[in-house]
Amino acid sequence: MRTFIYFIATCFISTGIYFASLNSSHLAIGIAAAIALWAWFLWGYDSRMRKAEERRNRNRR
């Protein structure tokens, strides 16, 4: 559930960044910021999944 909330927030924020960059004179900065936001989301998702896997493996032993 927490990942879904992060996903929705990432969608809204990156959409806002894309729209703001369309009105900016430096389009590449906005696109780079939105891509960095998605990379941060994916990095966080990956680390949460690794921690959950470690907890599952720890409980099996």
> Tell me: the pLDDT tens digits for 4-52?
999 999 999 999 999 999 999 999 999 999 999 999 999 999 999 999 8
Model confidence pTM above 0.95: no
Cβ 21 vs Cβ 49: under 8 Å? no
**Maximum distance among all Cα pairs of the chain, rounded to whole angstroms:** 57
What pLDDT score was predicted for residue 58? 87
CA distances from 11 to 8, 19, 21, 49, 50 (A): 5, 12, 15, 20, 23
Checking if the pLDDT of 61 tops 90, the result is no
Give the containing element (helix H, strand E) for 14. helix 2-22
Cβ 48 vs Cβ 3: under 8 Å? yes
